[in-house]
Chains A and B, each alone.
Chain A
Amino acid sequence: MGEDLKHLKILKQGAEARLYVCNYLGRPTLIKERFTKKYRHPDLDTVITKDRIKNEARSIVRCKTANIRTPTLYLVDFDRRRIYMEYLENSKTVKDFIKNLSNVENSCIIEQIKILAKLIGESIRKLHENNIIHGDLTTSNMLLVPKNENEEINWLEVDKLDLVMIDFGLSFIDSSTEDKAVDLYVLERAVESTDVPHLEVFHDILEAYQNFSENNTKELINKYREVSARGRKRTMVG
């Protein structure tokens, strides 16, 4: 941890970074610090960390241009291995949202998840239309925020929420169908391993992905099926 962050509380320790909340130029700000990983060789650590910060900053900016919602980027500090970005205080990860939803007695859970699936499918399609490959599409890396800041939030109604993509450290820019197909396959596996009370959720995501724009996705979907079949058929020797 950087000395200057000692007084801040750690919001979370994510998959590769520690996250702190502070106030930067009057705005609630999240500091994402990719601290030195002592388990790996220093040369490797430096290369990886630089890469990830670069990827994250680049993709956030690219999303802004493409009108895809992400936290706003405030500052990149390579020396201290940090990115400063907008802190979405009123947010829930999709993972926590689903968990929360599963805990309430409600007959329209499936309906809500279907709407959520559509939201996810469309957002990913937007990323891919702009050749942004996320690289780590999981339910922890998507946030839900209220559409209308001033309204009382009801965390059970997806209509009133927006989806925000985060964690672009493993992202890259590519136009190939293979990379987009792998991105979808990573998401499928992440969804499968989360306990979603609606089994066809990935099917719904894929459908929304396909229907979102006029451009033909036939080749891409075929590629996705190929990647997915390859994964499932992988021989496993003891």
Chain B
Amino acid sequence: MVIAIGFEGSANKLGIGIVKDEEILANCRRTYITPPGEGFMPRETAKHHSENIHELLQEALDQSGITPQEIDVVCYTKGPGMGAPLMVCAIVARTCAKLWKKPIYGVNHCVGHIEMGRLITKAKNPTVLYVSGGNTQIIAYSRKKYKIFGETIDIAVGNCLDRFARVLKLSNDPSPGYNIEQAAKKGKKYLNLPYCVKGMDVSFSGILSYMEDKIDELLKEYTPEDLCYSLQETIFAMLVEITERAMAHCGSDEVLIVGGVGCNERLQEMMGVMCSERGAKIFATDERFCIDNGVMIAYAGALAFKAGSRMSFEASTITQRYRTDDVWVTWRDD
């Protein structure tokens, strides 16, 4: 049995989670929300995290009902992410490890999402669509690596949505993507937008600059709801298309959607239709697990720890760039 605590703060969510093997003992989160029209910057985000992390840690320990002495390993997000916010969590994790005299383990954020998704949905060996504010990747497991089959060649899908929300001055509470999703439900008129797929890769910057450049003109003919609707329909169709291409290439019949954009119900619905047309199964989770959280870091760290992976205290640094396929997946034997 392994009890692990996980600290996550690579973007604007600060999360602390505690797991005992596959059981979730605590899942606490605070989100740094910026005013409409504004994105989150590293400095302010780090400030938010450092102001909240101690209280959140207490909350997580209380919720779990365990004492620090019972913890086997302290996990934190090593990367990828924004430097300053990552550092806040790493420092607190290192301090806890020293204070409690426990080993420390740095986790790849993307791998955290994948393992959390596999745990919650019980998907065995899915093709993974990882969609968030900073990432857009199609991933499949092969020989101890999560290999990247396709990805965005410019901005991430979540970034595209967030920036479009800023153009429309939509609220960032609870998240810009959520507000686009709600607006899109009321959209009726479909606008044809640039569609850009290159093999298993996608590009979103063309669509975004098209919308940004023409927004005043477009708003004369389309409501903001129509535009949200058209944007979602277009970019999600691109994502579903490259996922299907990867599935055909790998001969896979399971899809797992992870990452913050993954809780968008329209995306899940479209993916579900694609799957049913090829006899495949879709797996997705809701916002508790899709959106960045500490549990995913604790759980992925615990898996590696159980498989014998260790990290020296000196190696417990952070890195803004850390590719999913850089991780040696010690805990899978298939």
Instruction: Give me the interface of A with B, judged by CB distance under 8 Å.
Output: 13-16, 35, 37-41, 43-44, 47-48, 95, 135-138, 140, 170, 182, 186, 189-190, 192-193, 195, 231, 233-238
Which residues of chain B in 190-204 are interfacial with respect to chain A, using CB atoms and an 8 Å cutoff?
A: 190, 192, 195, 197-201
List chain A residues, Cβ under 8 A from B109.
238
10 interchain residue pairs of minimum CB distance: A237-B134, A238-B10, A236-B80, A39-B273, A15-B248, A15-B245, A238-B81, A40-B237, A39-B270, A186-B199
**B214 close to chain A: CB less than 8 A:** no
A44 in complex: contacting residue of B135, B233, B244, B278, CB < 8 Å: B233
**B320 close to chain A: CB less than 8 A:** yes
A237 in complex: contacting residue of B8, B135, B151, B273, CB < 8 Å: B135
- Pick 14 A–B contacts, CB within 8 A, sort by A: A39-B237, A40-B237, A44-B192, A44-B234, A135-B198, A137-B199, A140-B248, A186-B201, A190-B249, A193-B147, A235-B320, A235-B321, A236-B321, A238-B132
| A-B residue pair count with CB separations less than 8 angstroms | 119
A190 to B201, CA, bound (A): 11
B135 in complex: contacting residue of A41, A138, A170, A236, CB < 8 Å: A236
**B82 close to chain A: CB less than 8 A:** yes
A135 to B132, CA, bound (A): 26
**B172 close to chain A: CB less than 8 A:** no
List chain B residues, Cβ under 8 A from A136.
198-200, 245
Given A193-B148, A236-B134, A238-B77, A13-B278 contact (CB < 8 Å): yes
A140 to B10, CA, bound (A): 37
Which residues of chain B in 146-172 are interfacial with respect to chain A, using CB atoms and an 8 Å cutoff?
A: 147-153, 156
Within the complex, what minimum Cβ distance (angstroms) separates B114 from chain A?
A: 13
**B292 close to chain A: CB less than 8 A:** yes
A214 to B245, CA, bound (A): 35
CB of A44 within 8 A of CB of B133, answer no
A98 to B195, CA, bound (A): 33
A186 in complex: contacting residue of B142, B198, B240, B320, CB < 8 Å: B198
B197 in complex: contacting residue of A35, A170, A237, CB < 8 Å: A170
A13 to B269, CA, bound (A): 21
Which chain B residue lies CB-closest to A227?
B153
Which chain B residue lies CB-closest to A44?
B237
Known: A14-B248, A238-B292. 16 other contacts (CB 8 A): A35-B277, A40-B233, A41-B233, A135-B199, A136-B245, A138-B200, A193-B140, A193-B149, A233-B321, A235-B320, A236-B110, A237-B133, A237-B135, A238-B8, A238-B11, A238-B110
Within the complex, what minimum Cβ distance (angstroms) separates A68 from chain B?
A: 19
Q: Digitize B1-37: 1 where CB-to-A-CB distance is under 8 Å, 0 elsewhere.
A: 0000000101100000000000000000000000000
List chain A residues, Cβ under 8 A from B110.
236, 238
A44 to B241, CA, bound (A): 12
List chain A residues, Cβ under 8 A from B134.
235-238
A153 to B147, CA, bound (A): 33
Chain B contact-residue range equals 35 or more
**B323 close to chain A: CB less than 8 A:** yes
Q: Which of A35, A39, A231, A238 has the most CB of B within 10 A?
A: A238
**B322 close to chain A: CB less than 8 A:** yes
A48 to B244, CA, bound (A): 15
**B274 close to chain A: CB less than 8 A:** yes
CB of A41 within 8 A of CB of B142, answer no
A182 to B196, CA, bound (A): 13
List chain B residues, Cβ under 8 A from A190.
149, 199-200, 249
List chain A residues, Cβ under 8 A from B278.
13
A135 to B199, CA, bound (A): 6
Given A38-B273, A195-B143, A237-B11 contact (CB < 8 Å): yes
Which chain B residue lies CB-closest to A182?
B198
A39 to B11, CA, bound (A): 31
List chain B residues, Cβ under 8 A from A195.
142-143
Which chain B residue lies CB-closest to A136?
B199
List chain A residues, Cβ under 8 A from B156.
237
CB of A235 within 8 A of CB of B80, answer yes
Within the complex, what minimum Cβ distance (angstroms) separates B324 from chain A?
A: 8
**B128 close to chain A: CB less than 8 A:** no
Given A236-B135, A238-B132, A37-B248 contact (CB < 8 Å): no
**B271 close to chain A: CB less than 8 A:** yes
Within the complex, what minimum Cβ distance (angstroms) separates A122 from chain B?
A: 20
List chain A residues, Cβ under 8 A from B147.
192-193
Which chain B residue lies CB-closest to A17?
B248
Which chain B residue lies CB-closest to A193?
B147
List chain B residues, Cβ under 8 A from A16.
241, 244-245
Given A44-B192, A189-B149, A235-B321, A39-B274 contact (CB < 8 Å): yes
Within the complex, what minimum Cβ distance (angstroms) separates A200 from chain B?
A: 18
List chain A residues, Cβ under 8 A from B151.
234
A231 to B136, CA, bound (A): 13
